[in-house]
A and B are shown apart, each in its own frame.
Chain A
Amino acid sequence: TQLLEQSPQFLSIQEGENLTVYCNSSSVFSSLQWYRQEPGEGPVLLVTVVTGGEVKKLKRLTFQFGDARKDSSLHITAAQTGDTGLYLCAGFMNRDDKIIFGKGTRLHILP
């Protein structure tokens, strides 16, 4: 079974703090994507990482793809209330053309 485990499932922190969420698997992925979903809306792509060890930055968000392409992390620096939402990682496997979603990390930033 191809699984993407996200941790933590829930995270509630104060505005200004830093946080990291993780996406782990025993499977190797061709690429990994991070999406953010806000209430009443569909997920929206934040980033795609393709190369093992790749690091991408999107303002205060830093995404890393593990060297073995089995895991990824999302680090948020100085969290803001606008970062509140459900963060989903999604891994793509070339061999069977499938995209697998993790169950998500629900992030709540307190003012």
Chain B
Amino acid sequence: EAQVTQNPRYLITVTGKKLTVTCSQNMNHEYMSWYRQDPGLGLRQIYYSMNVEVTDKGDVPEGYKVSRKEKRNFPLILESPSPNQTSLYFCASSSLQGATGELFFGEGSRLTVL
């Protein structure tokens, strides 16, 4: 089954404790992206990657890091999480980031930073 898998789905952590949210897709997609979704603010792009070893900042990259060492994986790293990073995070992938490319989303990871 074609899917985007995120882990963990839920996480409560404390300020400053490094964490990684993993994302894996089995559709051989070139394009992958991370979003955060907050009430009243909608989906905002954090980072995206057009292919292996190519990553770019989205609209809200501060406090986050990503890497794309393999085509299927695109982990999101919070080196020193802060409470304002409490949010619902989505990973997405697409075969073509072009005019008609469909984004396939994971089920989301709800992160709470205390």
A residues neighboring B (CB under 8 Å): 30-31, 33, 35, 40-45, 48, 50, 88, 90, 92, 94, 97-99, 101-104
16 further interface pairs, Cβ-Cβ under 8 Å (given A31-B100, A42-B108, A92-B99): A40-B107, A41-B108, A42-B4, A42-B92, A42-B107, A45-B102, A45-B103, A90-B103, A94-B98, A97-B97, A98-B45, A101-B44, A102-B42, A103-B40, A103-B42, A104-B42
Q: Name 10 interchain pairs, CB-CB below 8 A, sorted by A.
A: A35-B103, A40-B107, A40-B108, A42-B108, A43-B90, A43-B105, A48-B102, A92-B99, A97-B97, A99-B103
Query: Nearest-CB distance from B54 to chain A (Å)?
Result: 12
Q: How large is the interface on B (under 10, 10 to 19, 20 to 34, 35 or more residues)?
A: 20 to 34
Inter-subunit contact A48/B107 (CB<8 Å): no
User: In the complex, which residue of chain B has the Cβ closest to the Cβ of A4?
Assistant: B42
Q: A41 to chain B: which residues have CB within 8 Å?
A: 107-108
Q: A101 to chain B: which residues have CB within 8 Å?
A: 35, 42-44
Q: B108 to chain A: which residues have CB within 8 Å?
A: 40-42
Query: Nearest-CB distance from B34 to chain A (Å)?
Result: 12
Taken together as a complex, chains A and B put the C-alpha atoms of A30 and B107 apart, in Å, by 27
Inter-subunit contact B100/A48 (CB<8 Å): yes
Taken together as a complex, chains A and B put the C-alpha atoms of A7 and B100 apart, in Å, by 24
Q: A43 to chain B: which residues have CB within 8 Å?
A: 43, 90, 103, 105
Looking at the complex, which one of B40, B45, B99, B103 makes contact with A50 (CB distance below 8 Å)? Answer: B99
